[in-house]
Amino acid sequence: MNRCTSIISAYFCKDWLEGRIQNLLEQSEVPNIVAVALKDSEESKILARYPEVTTIITSDVPTVYAAWNMAIKACDTTFVNIANSDDRLSKFAIERMCNALQENPSYSLAYPDCHVVYELNGDRFPFELGEGDLFSGCFIGPVPTYRRKLHELYGWFPEDYVVAGDYWFWLNLQVNGVKFLHIKEKLGIFYDRSQNPSIENNLEYKFSNLTIFETAKAQEYWKKERDAKLL
C-alpha cells in the first residue's frame, strides 16, 4: 500500500496538468494521485488518459479547498501531499518527506525549501522557507506533506475561503500544538506567475485584496481560539 496521496485541484490548468501528473508518476516513490475536475472540461479529458489517477468529476467549479477536501476524503493513505497543478517536485521529494515524518513521529507536517521559477521550466532561483510563528506569516510553502489523520482530529480546509484556506488550516494545526518539520533541502519548484501578464487563473494574484482580507480573517479567528485556550 502506498504511503502518500497527492491531491490536485484540476481547474483552469490544462497547460500545466499533464506535466504535473508526469512529475508525480516519475517520483522515486510514486504516490496515489487523486484529482478533482469539472465535467467535460479539457482537464477532465487529460485526466481520462491516466488510469493511474483517481478522478472526481464535479458539475461546477468549487473552491480549491472544497476540491481538496473531496480528494482527501477519497484517499486512505497515511500521508497527504498538496500538488498544485503548476508546481513540481524533485524526483525524491515524496519519498524524503514521508521518510522524514516516519522518522520523526512527533511531527505531523513536513515542508521543504523550494526553487522559484518565473516561467514554467525556466531558470530556478533558491527559495528558503522560514520557521517559527505562523501568525507572523505563512512559511509552510507550496508542497507540504502531512498526516491524513490531522483531518480526523482538527477538521477540514474551510470551503468558504477562496485563497487563504490552507493558511487557515495551518494556523488551526499550530494552535492545537501540531509540530511542523522544516526540511532544509530544495525539494519543490514553485511557479511564481506574479510577473506573468496572463494571471487570470491564478487566484492569489487575481484576488490580491481578498488574500489580504482572508489572511487577516484567519489570523483573527485563530488568535481568539489560541487566547481562549490560555485562559
Return the CATH number at 83.
3.90.550.10
Question: What average pLDDT does range 121-144 have in this prediction?
Answer: 91
| Distance between CA atoms of residues 79 and 3, nearest Å | 6
| Distance between CA atoms of residues 175 and 173, nearest Å | 6
Give CA separation, 125 vs 27, 94, 118, 171, in Å.
Answer: 22, 21, 9, 28
Residue 196 confidence (pLDDT): 60
Question: What average pLDDT does range 88-107 have in this prediction?
Answer: 98
Q: Which of 133, 214, 118 is nearest to 166 (CA)?
A: 214
Q: In this structure, are residues 195 and 100 in contact, taking their beta carbons and an 8 Å threshold?
A: no
Question: What average pLDDT does range 150-168 have in this prediction?
Answer: 98
| 36-50, 58-72, 185-199: range with lowest mean pLDDT | 185-199
Q: Give the best-scoring range by mean pLDDT among 16-30, 110-124, 193-207.
A: 16-30
Strands 180-191 and 88-89, how do they pair?
antiparallel
| Distance between CA atoms of residues 24 and 63, nearest Å | 23
The answer for residues whose C-beta is within 8 angstroms of residue 176's C-beta and 6 or more apart is: 153, 154
Give CA separation, 15 vs 28, 86, 149, 193, in Å.
Answer: 24, 9, 33, 13
pLDDT tens digits, one per residue of 49-85: 999 999 999 999 999 999 999 999 999 999 999 999 9
pLDDT at 198 over 60: no
Question: What average pLDDT does range 199-204 have in this prediction?
Answer: 52
Question: What average pLDDT does range 22-29 have in this prediction?
Answer: 98
Residue 30 DSSP class = P
Confidence of residue 28 (pLDDT cuts 50, 70, 90): very high
pLDDT tens digits, one per residue of 78-91: 999 999 999 999 99
What does pLDDT average to over the chain?
A: 93
Question: What average pLDDT does range 128-152 have in this prediction?
Answer: 96
Answer with the residue of higher pLDDT: 198 or 40.
40
- Total domains in the chain come to 1
Residue 128 confidence (pLDDT): 87
| 5-9, 128-132, 175-179, 213-217: range with lowest mean pLDDT | 128-132
165-175 vs 64-73: helix crossing angle, rounded to 10: 60
Residue 29 DSSP class = S
Q: Domain span at residue 184?
A: 4-230
Q: What percent of the chain has pLDDT over 90?
A: 84
Residues written for the chain: 231
